Amino acid sequence: METKKIIPCLDINNGRVVKGVSFVDLKDAGDPVEIAQAYDKGGADEIVLLDITATTDGRDNQLKMVGEIADKISIPFTVGGGIRTIDDFQRILAEGATKVGVNSAAIKDPNLISKASKRFGSERVVIAIDGKKRRDGSGWNVYTNGGSVDTGIDAIQWAKKVYELGAGAILLTSIDLDGTKSGYDIDLTRAIAESVSIPVIASGGAGTKEHIYEALTAGKAAAALAASLFHYKELDIIDLKHYLEDKGVPVQWRS
């Protein structure tokens, strides 16, 4: 089994970290720079920073904040939200981000994935897939604009396509379970992980350390992402890593 990663997610709205349920009912969780620093010191392997209203508001990502975070932490971090062009990739990476996450723009123009991969390297291109189960239970569709727009695209087929176009990783969020703390969508996570040979980051629904273990084993995810579970000190990352290691899951330790 490959070494697994633990990744806190900072959902940003108006310059503050927020957390909600199924992308709504947002509550303030603190200053993003301070929280990023705390996670760096607290054993996180990476951080994901998502400006969750940048796309729906039609504005750019908050570059100043990205630069401030880059100056304060030593671990890799991905920035997403409001990314529409190759120039947006360039600006985010120039501010010090390690990777760039994109969702809506890639669906509108899939060639953006291949262009970014060729210019910056596939390892810097993360495709966010927000999946929601179809009412008939036949599979999952891809949603955009913060989970508000059903594209009608099958999530598994889209995952295969972004992999073929050069994406370096997939950030997979279950809209149905996001913020519920009832566990990840293991079926969705496993289906996506088995359809591609790039890392899949499981997101949406973490409530216990057992849920994270399930995502990394039964779900076959390369990494587990969580937000409120870490933000509100319900689970310590170092304790979580010891738990996973005791269960036979290899994790990363920083000296």
Supply the CATH number for residue 214's domain: 3.20.20.70
Domain that holds residue 89: 5-246
From the list 91, 89, 95, the residue with the least C-alpha distance to 120 is 89
239 in catalytic set: no
In a domain, residue 252? The reply is no
185 in catalytic set: no
In a domain, residue 20? The reply is yes
State pLDDT tens for residues 20-44: 554 455 666 689 999 999 999 999 9
In a domain, residue 255? The reply is no
Catalytic residue among 45, 51, 88, 130: 130
pLDDT for res 117: 98
* pLDDT over threshold 50, residue 150: yes
d(CA 195, CA 117): 20
Q: What percentage of the chain exceeds 70 in pLDDT?
A: 91
Q: Which residues neighbour 186 within 8 Å (Cβ) at sequence distance 6 or greater?
A: 214, 215, 218, 219
Q: Note the pTM of the prediction, 2 decimals.
A: 0.92
pLDDT for res 120: 98
d(CA 11, CA 17): 5
In a domain, residue 155? The reply is yes
* pLDDT over threshold 50, residue 188: yes
pLDDT for res 22: 47
In a domain, residue 93? The reply is yes
In a domain, residue 253? The reply is no
Q: What are phi and psi of 4, to 5 degrees?
A: -100, 155
Question: Across all residues in the chain, what is the average pLDDT?
Answer: 92
State pLDDT tens for residues 50-90: 887 655 554 455 788 999 999 999 999 999 988 999 999 99
pLDDT for res 11: 87
Number of domains in the chain: 1
Catalytic residue among 11, 40, 45, 185: 11
**pLDDT tier for residue 179 given thresholds of 50, 70 and 90:** confident
